[in-house]
Chains A and B, each alone.
Chain A
């Protein structure tokens, strides 16, 4: 069974602090996606990483795909209240059509 574990499950920090969210797979993934979901809305894609060791930046968010393509991280610098939400990672091997989803990290940034 392919699994995708996210940590931490919950994180509450002050505005201006840095944080990292982790996503670990039990097997090699061909690509991995990060989504953010706000209350009452569906998840919205932030980024897709496909190459081992790849780093992508989206303003204050930095996404990294592990060299072995079994893990990924999301680092937020100087978090803002607007970063509050549920962060989900999802991916799978190339043979899949169905994404395997992590359980999510609920992030709260306090002003």
Chain B
């Protein structure tokens, strides 16, 4: 499809395990964003990519969180040694360029549950 695709849509894992979340942005979109959203709440910014570079990692909650983007396209968000407080919906968005007036196109998110 032409939209932002995220996988898996749901992930249940045990505390302490590592998880990898994937985002496939809209083709041609140079900017990519990762957000975290707790149930019914607003969006918490995690990281921004322009191309393959991440000029802003300020939102990553701890050093257990990392992200990369390759080929200016697919991005993965990795959480190591998961904790229960990591349970949330992780949303990915892309935009044509990283500018404040650009609309962001979102995937449907990965719902992560840590047991």
A and B held together in a complex: yes
CB–CB B101/A42 < 8 A: no
Q: Is B18 interfacial (CB-CB < 8 Å)?
A: no
CB–CB A97/B4 < 8 A: no
CB–CB B41/A103 < 8 A: yes
CB–CB A98/B101 < 8 A: no
Size of B's binding interface in residues, CB under 8 A: 25
Size of A's binding interface in residues, CB under 8 A: 29
Q: How would you classify the secondary structure of chain A's contact residues: helix, strand, loop or mixed?
A: loop
Give the segment of A53-61, A70-78, A85-93 that binds chain B: A85-93
CB–CB B100/A97 < 8 A: yes
Q: Is B115 interfacial (CB-CB < 8 Å)?
A: no
CB–CB B100/A30 < 8 A: yes
A44–B4 Cα gap in the complex (Å)?
Answer: 12
Chain A residues lying within 8 Å of B93, measured Cβ to Cβ, are 42
CB–CB A31/B101 < 8 A: yes
The interface of chain B, by Cβ under 8 A from chain A, is 4, 31, 33, 40-43, 45, 48, 50, 55-56, 91, 93, 98-101, 103-109
